[in-house]
Each structure stands twice: as C-alpha cells, then as structure tokens.
Amino acid sequence: MAVRSAGAEELPGSLRYNRPMATLPAAAGTFVIPGDEFEPAYLALHRSGELRRRATEAVERLRHCLVCPRDCGVDRLAGKTAACHTGRYAQVSSYFPHFGEEECLRGWCGSGTIFFSMCNLRCVFCQNYEISQAKRGQETSPERLAAMMLELQGRGCHNINFVTPEHVVPEIIEALAIAAELGLRLPVVYNTSAYDSMDSLRLLDGIVDIYMPDFKFWDSALSLQYVKARDYPEAARRNVVEMHRQTGVLKCDEQGMARRGVLVRHLVMPGAIAGTESIMRFLAEELSPDTYVNVMAQYYPAGRVSDSQFVEINRRLTGAEYSAAVEAARRAGLWRIEDHRPLRVR
Ligand code: SF4
C-alpha cells in the first residue's frame, strides 16, 4: 500500500491553503507546462473512442487475473478472489480532498484522493493496515466511482489521486471512461507502491498524467522479509523506467501544480534497509537527474512491527539516518528533492 500522507496530516479548514502558493522551484524553466496548454492525457483517448476500448480490454483481463505481478490467474469476473481479496469491483475505503499530499498536488483546494481497500503487498510495517488488509471498504460500481471523481472535481480539487490502485487498474479505466464522458477534466495521479504489472502500465499509457511510485526496497531478500514480495525490486525498477518513458520528468503549471510526469516517493527506513543509496543512483542514472523525489521521513513502527517481531525496525528514524538519505540523493546527482529536515526524529 502506498504511504497515505506525504507530509502533514490533513489540516483543519482554517489552516488550509486558501490562495495560490508561491511558485515552487519545480515550476521553473523547462519544467513548466503553461496552464492554458495543458489537457489531461485521457481526454484525447476519450475523444477517439480508445478509452472505452481500453476499458473493455482491461475488464476482460479480470477473467484470468494477471493485473499485478502476483499473477494469480483467478477469474475475478466470476467474483473469485486471491492475494488482493478483490473480485469484480473495486472497494473504496474513503475519498476526500486531501491536504497532506505534496504541495504540488494538494495546492490550496486539496488533492482529490480516492483510497482503495486491500493491497497486493504485505508490508509488515503498513501504516494503513485497516485499509490494506482488513476489508473495510465499500464495493463500488464503475458509475459510483465516476461519480466520486466528479464530486471531487466539483469541490475544487486539483487532481484525481488514486491511492493503492495496483489491483484495480481495470476498474479505474472503466470508471474514467464514464467520468470523462460526464465532464471530468482533472489530471489523474496514479499513486502506487510500484508493484504493478507491465500489462497494466501499457493499458494506462496515455491515461495517467502523473505517476507517483513509492520505490520501497532495492534488495530482493529484504523485500521478501518486509513486503512479502521477492520480485518487488525488479518490478519497481522496470516500472519506474516505463512510467518515465510514458510521461517524463515532473512538470508543473505556473502556479506550481503538478501536471505531468513522474514524482517518486521513497520512505527512508531505520538501519538503511530500504537501500536508499542504490535507489537514488538508479533514478539519476536510468531516469534522469531531473527526477523529482520526495525523500519521506515519516516512518514509524506500525502493522506487525513490535517488541517481539521485526524489532530491528521497531523505532523511528534518527535525524542522522534521514540526513544520510538526503545526502545520498544529492550525491547521486538528483536535485529536485523534497527534503523534510529538520525532523521530529531522535
Ligand atoms: S490483482 Fe489481485 S488477483 Fe490479480 S494478480 Fe494481483 S493480487 Fe492476484
């Protein structure tokens, strides 16, 4: 599951941004898409009829589900479920204007976030266990999902932000086709753990405006131990390259709002077990030194982490650990870095 909040918790109304923010560094020079030149990617596919065709193809793929790298092969159209505990329809746990995401997503009216229940990973430190594993969501028809998007647009949100979407890509495309028909005009954010299948990413090509992968681990043995997927690093490496191929580096409009490209998140872990240095080098060398990276500091023990299990990560980060992660990013040549120092860490 993607980490729920990138920075501050949801703010009370009086503390929300109520005016356009100052232009962010990310909105300088070649990283700008003028607002009047921007159109969400999926609208061209909608006009040509390709979005409907993709939706039909994507839903058909639920018949023998290979939607994510788990490759379960179950017939979700017949309501069968497997590792993600999700059948024909997506389950939504909540949707609302989110003021805890990156500034270039939340702006002054919030990111129109839709949280899907269940997950194809099993992070032992999951901070959203109730959503990712406990089946607390509402089964949602494509029409209802489209209505949620339109409601968020009506509330002034800057984008539609699909959180933990890896196992419900067909349902998302199906609903987007309906929403586009009914007037959706916001950019789409795909807020993923990066444990996606290449088939899903190909279906999303030309649909997603902003890819936001959370690149969690570099080492396959540690991935097996902490997110229960030995092939996670291989999938994440392949997928961020594909996301970059589709959308390029992150570009914003003149007000600093994200419009297109890849925004990578990376949660720094205690003891440097995430492999931050290798991940940052990979991003700089295989994507671009201009890759936008949020180096996240908000790890805290949660999920199955306790005094008796996974004790080595049963603590918060130290300031030194977080600083080392930011420095690793800089040493790799990255410069569009969200750096959250000073921290409330030990
Ligand atoms: S989306 Fe769900 S059923 Fe399909 S392969 Fe992934 S975990 Fe298995």
Tell me, in angstroms, the distance from the centre of ligand 1 to residue 3's CA: 20
- Mean pLDDT of all residues in the chain? 91
Residue 189 φ/ψ, nearest 5 degrees? -105, 125
Whether pTM > 0.95 for this model: the answer is: no
Give the SS3 label for residue 244: helix
Give CA 31 to chain center in angstroms.
21
Quick check: CB of 147 below 6 Å from ligand 1? no
Give the C-alpha separation, 197 to 73, whole Å.
13
Give the C-alpha separation, 300 to 303, whole Å.
10
Give the C-alpha separation, 240 to 144, whole Å.
30
Structural domains of the chain in order of their starting residue, each with its CATH number: 13-339 (3.20.20.70)
Tell me, in angstroms, the distance from the centre of ligand 1 to residue 296's CA: 28
Quick check: CB of 186 below 6 Å from ligand 1? no
Q: Which pLDDT tens digits describe the chain residue by residue (346 residues)?
A: 544 444 333 333 323 333 334 334 444 578 999 988 899 999 999 999 999 999 999 999 999 999 999 999 999 999 999 999 999 999 999 999 999 999 999 999 999 999 999 999 999 999 887 777 767 789 999 999 999 999 999 999 999 999 999 999 999 999 999 999 999 999 999 999 999 999 999 999 999 999 999 999 999 999 999 999 999 999 999 999 999 999 999 999 999 999 999 999 999 999 999 999 999 999 999 999 999 999 999 999 999 999 999 999 999 999 999 999 999 999 999 999 999 886 554 4
What would the pLDDT profile of 156-211 be if each residue is shown by its tens digit? 999 999 999 999 999 999 999 999 999 999 999 999 999 999 999 999 999 999 99
How many distinct helices (H) and strands (E) make up the chain? 11, 10
Q: Which two tokens stand for residue 154?
A: 């009506």
Side chain identity at 266, as an amino acid letter? H
**C-alpha count within 13 angstroms, C-beta hemisphere, residue 282:** 20
Tell me, in angstroms, the distance from the centre of ligand 1 to residue 62's CA: 9
Whole-angstrom CA distances from 250 to 91, 210, 259, 292, 327 are 29, 8, 8, 6, 21
Give CA 332 to chain center in angstroms.
23
Quick check: CB of 68 below 6 Å from ligand 1? yes
Quick one: which atom of ligand 1 is closest to the CA of 66? 5
